[in-house]
Amino acid sequence: MKPTYGVVVFLAVANIQVTSALQWTSALDLPANVTVHACTGDNVTLPWKYETEGAEHAIDVEWLYQAEGQVEELIASNVRGNFFVTPTAKQHLQFVPNAGLELMHVTQADSGAYILNVNINLHGSVTVYSQRVVLEVSNFEKEINFSGSPDVYVTGAPANTDGQLHVQLMPSAVQDNVTGEWHVMLSCGTFSSLGQPPVSVLWTTPDNVTVSSSYYGNAGSYILIIDNPVATGEYSCRLEQTPSAMCLPAQSLLHNGASIHVDGVETRLSVLEGQLVALQNENAELRSELGEQRKENENTTAVLEGRLTAMQQENTVLKSNLRNVTEKVSEITHYILNKSALDVCDSMTGRHNLNNQPFSTYDHDNDAYSGVNCASQHHGAWWYNYCTWSNLNGLYTHNSNDRDWKYVVWHEWNHDARSFKRAEMKIRLRA
């Protein structure tokens, strides 16, 4: 049979009645709150029926239809025993005495509310009695015939790619993100449509325990995650007997279900393989992260080395500038001497104390001897006070017996002005 587009119909009945002798007799034929499931192509009957008493008589009967979000519109009426269908009505309608309707081959376009109004005349006073049924419709593929009644669900059947269920062991184990435990999985499908309401799949374990599917996968199959340790034996899947499953043709192979033998040892190997692959992937990720970290470290090192080089260059410039400033300051202050007291043979103290004395040359006379240029007189460059008892920058003579203050003299060593053969002086800048 060629599939047709079907519907899901939900009918909810409301009874609006004014106190009177009119009685709704159709309610006696239907259990309260009954729900009947039907499949696409059904003829849905709304078995409204009433009885009047005494002088009451029906003027006419009206049936109205209201689509969701729209205003009510008249679709049929019965006046003096004559049944009329409004030309604008989309439904295929037939009259069911004495106030019922039959909707032929319901489709999604039939969704909405159906209202019955019975206008009763009693001694010239008109009273309206109403019934209301709500149909909620969804569209699906289905094949089946069913005779309906109020409170009906018109259901779409599921569809499979080749008309039968297939069960298989998934090739890879998966890890639970919460527990971290690894599991093997079974799939049952493959569905191209789940019908409406959606069909579900039940599983039977080797222990003959029935369990629900874990979830519905994106590939059109229901998935069962098997608890550890995996039991060896037959696992089977079948459609749960929902309204959509009951819409399947009796000859449909989807009724048969499917089964598979699962070996607990093989599944353990699958779990170990999954763990190995996960470790390999994690190792590859760590190697990649390590490589990125090394690159980042190299970049950071290069940046720091560049900054260090720049700081060293800047430090060299600062030292040079400081030296220039120091020299300039020293030049301005004439290289004032700051000395500590010597333990012995101090020729820079006493009457010729040179501490805090500026440096003198023949062209820069900074000594304390007024009217005398000690540097010129002693042929040296030195810290002179009233001239000096020391003159280590004086003239050098080959004759150690020569006595004159112009020679290399250190008076407190030999208490005269004989020249030294050699003198060494070390000077450092003040802190």
- DSSP secondary structure code for residue 358 in this structure: P
- Which of 58-67, 348-357, 360-369 bottoms out in mean pLDDT, i.e. has the lowest? 348-357
pTM over 0.85: no
Question: What CA–CA distance (Å, rounded) separates 199 from 158?
Answer: 7
AA identity, residue 382: W
Residue 328, pLDDT score: 63
- Which of 92-96, 253-257, 290-294, 324-328 bottoms out in mean pLDDT, i.e. has the lowest? 324-328
Is a pLDDT exceeding 90 seen at residue 223? yes
Residue 85, pLDDT score: 94
Residue located via tokens 């593929």 = 141
Residue located via tokens 């003027």 = 59
Model confidence over 262-313: pLDDT tens digits? 998 887 877 777 667 777 777 888 888 888 999 999 999 999 999 999 999 9
**CB atoms near residue 257 (< 10 Å):** 18
What is the CA angle 365-369-375, rounded to 5? 40
Is a pLDDT exceeding 50 seen at residue 88? yes
Question: What CA–CA distance (Å, rounded) separates 365 from 357?
Answer: 12
User: How does the average pLDDT of the chain come out, rounded?
Assistant: 79
**Token pair of 183, please?**
């599991």
AA identity, residue 177: N
Is a pLDDT exceeding 60 seen at residue 17? no
Is a pLDDT exceeding 50 seen at residue 105? yes
Beta bridge partners of 156: 196
429 pLDDT tier (thresholds 50, 70, 90): low
Cis ω for the linkage preceding 229 (within 30 of 0): yes
**CB atoms near residue 133 (< 10 Å):** 22
Q: What's the whole-number mean pLDDT along residues 241-251?
A: 77
Under 8 Å between Cβ of 152 and 44:
yes
Q: What's the whole-number mean pLDDT along residues 338-362?
A: 80
Chain Cα centroid distance, residue 202: 33
Question: What CA–CA distance (Å, rounded) separates 62 from 83?
Answer: 10
Under 8 Å between Cβ of 237 and 224:
yes
**Short-list 125, 133, 124, 173, CA closest to 16:** 133
Is a pLDDT exceeding 80 seen at residue 431? no
List Cβ neighbours of 396 (8 Å cut-off, separation of 6 or more): 407, 408, 419
Is a pLDDT exceeding 60 seen at residue 186? yes
AA identity, residue 185: M
**Token pair of 48, please?**
């409204």
- DSSP secondary structure code for residue 364 in this structure: B
AA identity, residue 323: R
Model confidence over 365-403: pLDDT tens digits? 888 888 899 989 888 898 888 888 888 888 888 777 778
**CB atoms near residue 391 (< 10 Å):** 29
Q: What's the whole-number mean pLDDT along residues 71-81?
A: 93
Sign of CA dihedral 330, 336, 342, 344: positive
